[in-house]
Structure 1
Amino acid sequence: MSTSAFPRTVLVTGVTGRTGSLVFQKLQAQPEYFTVRGLGRSPEKQQQVLGEQSTCFVGDIRKPETLVEPLRGCNVLVILTSAIPVVVGQPEPGQRPPLGFLTGEMPEDVDYHGQVNQIEAAKVAGVEQIILVGSMGGTNPDHMLNKIGDGNILLWKRKAEQYLIDSGIDYTIIRAGGLLDQPGGKRELLVGKDDQLLIEPPDGIPTSIPRADVAELVVWAIIEPQARNKAFDVISKPEADPTGTVTRDFASLFSQTTPGL
Structure 2
Amino acid sequence: MKVLVVGANGQIGQKLTEMLNTHEEHTVLAMIRNQNQKEVFANKGIETVIADLEGSVTELQQAIKGCDAIVFTAGSGGSTGADKTLLIDLDGAVKTMEAAELAGVDRFIMVSALQANNRENWNEAIKPYYVAKHYADRVLMQSNLTYTIIRPGGLLNEQGTGKISVGEKLERGFIPREDVAKTIGESLTNEHTKNRSFDLVAGKDPITEALNNL
State the TM-score, normalizing by the size of structure 2: 0.90
Find the aligned partners of 1:145 and 1:126 in 2 and give their Cα distance. Answer: 38
User: Which has the larger share of helix?
Assistant: 2
Which one of 23, 26, 32 corresponds to residue 19 of structure 2?
A: 26
1:43 alignment partner AA: Q
- Other structure's SS at 2:29 match: strand
Q: Is the 8 A contact 2:30 2:46 kept in 1?
A: no
Structure 1 residue aligned with 2:124: 144
Moved more, 117-126 or 130-139: 130-139
Quick one: structure 1 residues 208 and 54, their matched pair in 2 at CA, closer, same or farther if it must change by over 3 Å? closer
- Structure 1: runs of 5+ lacking an equivalent: 1-7, 87-99, 199-206, 238-243
Which one of 172, 176, 181 corresponds to residue 157 of structure 2?
A: 181
1:20 alignment partner AA: G
1:134-166 per-residue CA deviation (whole Å, 9 max, x = no partner) reads 11142246523435xxxx111111110010010
Structure 1 position 48, deviation (Å): 3.7
Q: Is the 8 A contact 2:17 2:46 kept in 1?
A: no
- Structure 2: runs of 5+ lacking an equivalent: none
Structure 1 residue 40 corresponds to structure 2 residue 20: no
Fraction of identical pairs, as percent: 25
1:121 alignment partner AA: A
Which one of 107, 110, 127 corresponds to residue 132 of structure 1?
A: 110
- Other structure's SS at 2:188 match: helix
Structure 1 position 130, deviation (Å): 0.1
Q: Is the 8 A contact 2:97 2:140 kept in 1?
A: yes
Aligned residue pairs, count: 211
Structure 2 residue aligned with 1:5: none
2:3 alignment partner AA: V
Quick one: structure 1 residues 161 and 235, their matched pair in 2 at CA, closer, same or farther if it must change by over 3 Å? same
Q: Is the 8 A contact 2:3 2:70 kept in 1?
A: yes
Q: Is the 8 A contact 2:21 2:46 kept in 1?
A: no
Give 4+ residue runs of structure 1 displaced > 6 Å after superposition.
none
Find the aligned partners of 1:83 and 1:61 in 2 and give their Cα distance. Answer: 10
Structure 2 residue aligned with 1:60: 52
Quick one: structure 1 residues 108 and 119, their matched pair in 2 at CA, closer, same or farther if it must change by over 3 Å? same
Structure 1 residue aligned with 2:66: 73
2:124 alignment partner AA: M
Find the aligned partners of 1:156 and 1:225 in 2 and give their Cα distance. Answer: 27
State the TM-score, normalizing by the size of structure 1: 0.75
Structure 1 residue aligned with 2:171: 197
Give the RMSD, CA atoms, in angstroms: 2.0
Find the aligned partners of 2:42 and 2:186 in 1 and give their Cα distance. Answer: 22
Structure 1 residue aligned with 2:183: 217
Structure 1 position 210, deviation (Å): 0.5
- Other structure's SS at 1:223 match: coil
- Other structure's SS at 1:197 match: coil
Find the aligned partners of 1:129 and 1:157 in 2 and give their Cα distance. Answer: 19
Structure 1 residue 164 corresponds to structure 2 residue 140: yes
Structure 1 residue 230 corresponds to structure 2 residue 196: yes
1:103-152 per-residue CA deviation (whole Å, 9 max, x = no partner) reads x52x11111111010000000111121000111142246523435xxxx1
